[in-house]
């Protein structure tokens, strides 16, 4: 059974397909979880690993496999890298909630000010086109439309406060590659925000 067939059967709630999916990607998820702890320089127990391993697959299959339905396989994104994205986010969220990560001493908020500065392009600042109260949800919605690698970078850097070096380690690429990826991600995000804002303005008129 290839990945596409397995995805379709998982989405139709096939128990056998889900079991095969877990067997196929189980080791992959374990390694990502352990490596994320290693990069963050945080001690962990086998219970932590097992618990997060189960959480990752619960997230993948919850709400009638919503996460799997979101996978499109575009922009060079494989199912392998899609699962990696989900697993890394799951571990980072766990560290935030348990306040194990030193970065989580403050609430996990989007760094809108920093993002706004880096989004500056032909206009002064796309984020000033919307009110402060709308910014958070507006940006989150825009980020969700990006390619998976761009989503991961934006979320790790601006939402969760990871450094370029930490992201490079997690994504297993060089720091210069992260900077390049960040540039493309922000460019696409800026374009998306502008399009969404123009659409909103059209609806108002």
Residue ranges making up the domain that contains 194: 109-205
CATH number, domain containing residue 140? 1.20.140.160
Tally the domains of the chain: 2
Angstrom distances, CA of residue 110 to CA of 37, 85, 201: 22, 18, 24
71 and 143 assigned to the same domain: no
Q: What is the model's pLDDT at position 148?
A: 77
CA distance 58 to 1: 22
Q: Determine if residue 129 is left, alpha or beta; phi over 0 gives left, psi from -120 to 50 gives alpha, anything else beta.
A: alpha
**Does residue 128 surpass a pLDDT of 70?**
no
Mean pLDDT, the chain, whole residue set: 78
pLDDT digits (tens, 9 = 90+) for 114-124: 666 677 654 44
Quote the tokens at residue 110. 């989007």
Most confident by average pLDDT, 27-36, 72-81, 120-129: 27-36
Please give the C-alpha separations between residue 181 and each of 81, 82, 151, in angstroms, as whole numbers.
15, 17, 10
CATH number assigned to the domain comprising residue 55: 1.10.1740.10
Q: Are residues 88 and 116 in the same domain?
A: no
What per-residue confidence (pLDDT) applies to 135? 66
191 pLDDT higher than 90: no
């Amino acid at each position: 059974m290839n990945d596409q067939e397995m995805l379709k059967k998982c989405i139709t709630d096939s128990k056998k397909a889900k079991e095969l999916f877990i067997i196929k990607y189980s080791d992959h998820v374990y390694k990502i979880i352990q490596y994320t702890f290693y990069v963050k320089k945080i001690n962990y127990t086998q219970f932590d690993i097992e618990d997060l391993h189960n959480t990752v697959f619960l997230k993948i299959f919850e709400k009638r496999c919503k996460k799997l339905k979101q996978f499109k396989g575009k922009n060079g994104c494989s199912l392998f890298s899609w699962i990696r994205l989900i697993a890394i986010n799951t571990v980072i969220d766990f560290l935030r909630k348990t306040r194990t990560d030193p970065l989580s001493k403050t609430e996990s908020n989007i760094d809108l000010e920093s993002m706004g500065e880096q989004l500056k392009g032909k206009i002064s600042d796309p984020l000033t086109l919307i009110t402060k109260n709308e910014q958070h949800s507006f940006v989150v919605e825009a980020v969700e439309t990006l390619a998976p690698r761009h989503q991961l970078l934006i979320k790790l850097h601006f939402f969760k406060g990871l450094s370029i070096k930490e992201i490079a380690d997690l994504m297993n690429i060089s720091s210069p590659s992260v900077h390049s990826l960040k540039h493309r991600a922000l460019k696409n995000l800026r374009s998306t925000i502008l399009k969404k804002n123009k659409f909103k303005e059209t609806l108002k008129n």
